[in-house]
Structure 1
Amino acid sequence: MKMTIEELKIDSFDVIDKLSQNHVLANGSFIDINLPPRQIIQEFNTLSETRPKLKNLGIYTIISLKNIYIHLNQESCLKIVNQYIHGIGWHDLQYICFLDIQNSNIYIHIIFNRVTPEGQLIDIKCLGANWQQYEILRQSCSLIIDNPIYNQYLQKRFCNCCP
């Protein structure tokens, strides 16, 4: 499996509207994902407005998992996302996550608000995935892909629980 992590600074949350047209809205934090996209954008803007001089409002992260040898469903992908976000320490940020699950490729789109609910600011100097982030992503994927509970191929091959 090939993994890439791309992190971009964004000056508006309009990308949420674009992503919602072609991708599955799968998860969020400090946001009601059942709201219409325009209202979600407004919620993101409301939090960002607590820092009025802020120009780059958010961080757009694109995680690509290519050449996956098993089929992962939305639930499995969300487990990977949650473990990754907790691993990098951004679980306390407002974010929204979109999934694009294809046959052997998965694309995860995460929009983070740079302003925390407590009014703190995430520095964009940290953008650009480092080796630690790739290791956290690798471990997050391994916990799901190499676990027979989520992997039907391994389940059939190594478990006594299935015929």
Structure 2
Amino acid sequence: MIGLAKACSGGGGLANYVIDEEKGYELDRNLLCGDNPKEIMEEMKMIQDLNQRASNKTFSMVLSPDIKDGAKLSNKDLKEMTREYLNKLGIDPQKQQYIAFVHTEKQHKHIHIIANRVQPNGKLISDHHIGKKGQWAAHEIAKDRGLVSAKEKMIDNIKSIEQQKGNFKDLRGDIFKKHQSVMNTNPQGFKEYQSAMKGLGVKVESVINKQGKVQGHKLIDSITSKVFKASEIHRHLGLTAMMQPLAPLQAIVKVAKLASRDRDMGY
């Protein structure tokens, strides 16, 4: 679930966008009697005129459940969530003017809320960090109701990326071991080296620039199709001069010796 909230000047444009029966249906309202966007905003303006200092007198909010959650949530659920969301943002749903409208024109069902920021006594409801508060309010509501939270999805994505990085680290180590095993067979040229690596499931390709010159090499794991620059496998493998195609293998032998030295020194 995603929660968005901001203080704005409001006006007819916002009301016409939110309160549109072609996009969805009205879910809930409080202290408003108007039949159309113009009438509703005029009612809010009567209260807003009690405060002549502020320019942003309207709250515009969105509460957006995950697609799968939205498909199974009832109007009762959506209404309860809307009022809980307002409460968490310091907006009393029993004392403050607001209207909530569900948009269903897209697969992703979501709730738009317009609320008066000016209270009946003319004082403003704080909008301090209202955006962040909206995000956390949605996260808490989703967590309490066993729904998908945008923040939890973000955390899961980060964990997945970190896990993939760890897996790629293992894969790079495996490819380097294959490189070392091929070097131990003393290949007599770059093509022989390529062929041996291919037999171990690693395709080695030269990277050619626009001038037709070799500027590097890449190694491709046949199982995962993951592509690595040579320097990502080992820092010495990234030096073009050490792996020139069709050249004698002194350069590659030098790579192996340097790598062996680094290993012995604990790099």
Is this a same-fold pair by TM over 0.5? yes
Out of 8, 11, 19, the residue aligned to residue 13 of structure 1 is 11
Q: Does structure 2 conserve the Cα–Cα contact (< 8 Å) formed by 1:99 and 1:109? A: yes
CA drift at 1:140: 5.7
- CA distance change for structure 1 residues 30 and 136 in 2, over 3 Å: closer, same or farther? farther
Aligned residue pairs, count = 140
Name the amino acid aligned to 2:15: I
Structure 1 residues 2-151: aligned runs within 5 Å = 3-14=1-12, 15-21=14-20, 22-32=23-33, 35-69=35-69, 70-91=71-92, 92-101=95-104, 105-130=108-133, 132-139=136-143, 141-142=145-146
Task: Report the identity percentage.
Answer: 18
Larger Rg belongs to? 2
- CA distance change for structure 1 residues 99 and 67 in 2, over 3 Å: closer, same or farther? same
Q: Does structure 1 conserve the Cα–Cα contact (< 8 Å) formed by 2:99 and 2:115? A: yes
Q: Runs of 5+ in structure 2 lacking a partner?
A: 148-267
Find the counterpart in structure 2 of residue 148 from structure 1. Answer: none
Q: Does structure 1 conserve the Cα–Cα contact (< 8 Å) formed by 2:89 and 2:130? A: no
Q: Runs of 5+ in structure 1 lacking a partner?
A: 146-163
Q: Does structure 2 conserve the Cα–Cα contact (< 8 Å) formed by 1:58 and 1:113? A: yes
- CA distance change for structure 1 residues 89 and 9 in 2, over 3 Å: closer, same or farther? closer
CA drift at 1:104: 6.4
- CA distance change for structure 1 residues 13 and 132 in 2, over 3 Å: closer, same or farther? same
| Higher relative contact order (Cα pairs below 8 Å, separated by 6+ residues) | 1
Q: Output the TM-score relative to the length of structure 1.
A: 0.72
Separation in 2, partners of 1:108, 1:24: 10
> Which structure shows the bigger proportion of residues in strand conformation?
1
